[in-house]
């Protein structure tokens, strides 16, 4: 079946000279047998209008736009249902994790928490769009089994870190590393409001201030490593901290970025493939990020 084009939002890259550029990229889902319909919010940015109703606001995508942007009641479960309907979430385990961790605790006040778009969280950073979170959870699912170890580099709001923790459970270990201390503090507060709070309290989930390019050796090796910011190249420390049989998902590149899936084989060799094109903020030093460039 022919694949549908979709637009993936990683995170806004607000630093010059890219300020003027679009904060999304055109991509194709790479699973050959799986057709992914256009996501509602991204469809607005696509040049491929599905039918004449698109421009009138009467197509289902517009109705879902309004739905997702709504507020007043918890629509987290409905957001997950939509991601399932559109083929972004394909596993019950990922659905359960995203249903369990209410996004409203992680999105700053004043933003629509269930809207499928990245949102600013201060310090030139963003919380990634729900469909990017879902995509990364899907890619890492096999490596987020109960009892496994996971590292979330550039953990930002702590949303994905909390989802990881629900998936690996109390026998597992999840570490978030974020280089903006204020975001570390706010992410801990966010997690404390969420279903992952007991795991934080028990200590199987922790978030640390540090340079994520160095990983977090204390709890290595990791079955799963997620990097939430785009690296110019794959940091060697992260490769070293990946367990044989483990998987890393990392955006790599500057203006044009690929979401890379890196599997460490049992003999220590690496298999690398590009999942899709994305746009994330850079994995960089704190000073460079705070200067906005
Ligand atoms: C896209 S944002 C947050 C992503 C996070 N998954 C979320 O959705 O909340 C990327 C994060 O990476 C952080 N970051 C960038 N470079 C970093 C580095 N060298 N070490 C640790 N964190 C870094 C930024 O501060 C930012 O919070």
Q: Which two tokens stand for residue 118?
A: 């990245």
Q: What is the pTM of this model?
A: 0.82
Catalytic residue among 4, 128, 194, 206: 128
pLDDT means per 10 residues, the chain with 293 residues, are 40 34 31 33 29 30 44 76 96 97 95 94 96 98 98 98 98 98 98 98 98 98 98 97 98 95 98 96 97 85
Verify whether ligand 1 is closer than 6 Å to residue 191 (CB atom). no
pLDDT at 111: 92
Q: How far is the CA of 269 from the centre of ligand 1 (A)?
A: 27
Verify whether ligand 1 is closer than 6 Å to residue 235 (CB atom). no
pLDDT at 8: 52
pLDDT at 285: 98
If one residue of 136, 229, 237 were mutated to test the ligand 1 pocket, choosing by the most ligand atoms within 8 A of its CB, it would be: 229
Verify whether ligand 1 is closer than 6 Å to residue 149 (CB atom). no
Q: Is 128 an annotated catalytic residue?
A: yes
pLDDT at 9: 52
| Cα-trace Rg, the chain | 18
Among 239, 240, 267, smallest CA distance to 252 is for 239
Verify whether ligand 1 is closer than 6 Å to residue 141 (CB atom). no
Tens digit of each residue's pLDDT (9 = 90 or more) over 188-234:
999 999 999 999 999 999 999 999 999 999 999 999 999 999 999 99
Q: What is the CATH number of the domain that holds 151?
A: 3.40.50.150
Q: Which domain holds residue 156?
A: 5-291
DSSP for 229-271?
SBBSS--HHHHHTEEEEEEEEEEEESSSEEEEEEEE-TTS-EE
| Residue 84 CB neighbour total at 10 angstroms | 17
**Number of domains forming the structure of the chain:** 1
Kindly give the number of the ligand 1 atom that is closest to the alpha carbon of 226: 6
pLDDT at 222: 98
Q: Which two tokens stand for residue 91?
A: 């596993």
Mean pLDDT computed over every residue of the chain? 81
pLDDT at 198: 98
Handedness of CA 252, 257, 259, 265 (dihedral sign): negative
Tens digit of each residue's pLDDT (9 = 90 or more) over 25-63:
223 333 333 233 334 333 222 222 233 233 222 333 334
């Amino acid at each position: 079946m022919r694949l549908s084009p979709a637009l993936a939002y990683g995170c806004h890259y607000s630093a010059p000279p890219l300020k003027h550029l679009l904060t999304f990229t055109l991509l194709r889902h790479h699973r050959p047998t799986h057709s992914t319909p256009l996501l509602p919010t991204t469809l607005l940015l696509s040049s491929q209008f599905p039918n004449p109703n698109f421009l009138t606001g009467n197509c289902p995508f517009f109705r879902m736009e309004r739905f997702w942007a709504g507020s007043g009641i918890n629509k987290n479960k409905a957001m997950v249902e939509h991601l399932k309907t559109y083929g972004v979430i394909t596993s019950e385990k990922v659905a359960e994790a995203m249903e369990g961790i209410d996004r409203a605790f992680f999105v700053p006040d004043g933003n629509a928490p269930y809207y499928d778009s990245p949102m600013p969280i201060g310090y030139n950073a963003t919380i990634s769009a729900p469909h990017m979170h879902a995509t990364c959870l899907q890619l890492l699912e096999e490596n987020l089994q109960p009892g496994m170890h996971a590292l979330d580099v550039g953990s930002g709001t702590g949303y994905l870190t909390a989802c990881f923790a629900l998936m690996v459970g109390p026998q597992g270990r999840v570490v978030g590393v974020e280089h903006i201390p204020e975001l570390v503090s706010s992410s801990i507060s966010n997690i404390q409001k969420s279903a992952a709070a007991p795991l934080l309290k028990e200590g199987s989930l922790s978030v640390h201030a540090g340079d994520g390019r160095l990983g977090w050796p204390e709890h290595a090796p990791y079955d799963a490593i997620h990097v939430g910011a785009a690296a110019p190249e794959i940091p060697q420390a992260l490769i070293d901290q990946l367990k044989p049989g483990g998987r890393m998902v990392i955006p790599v590149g500057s203006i044009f970025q690929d979401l890379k899936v890196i599997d460490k084989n049992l003999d220590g060799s690496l298999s690398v493939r590009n999942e899709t094109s994305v746009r994330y903020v850079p994995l960089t030093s704190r000073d460079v990020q705070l200067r906005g460039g």
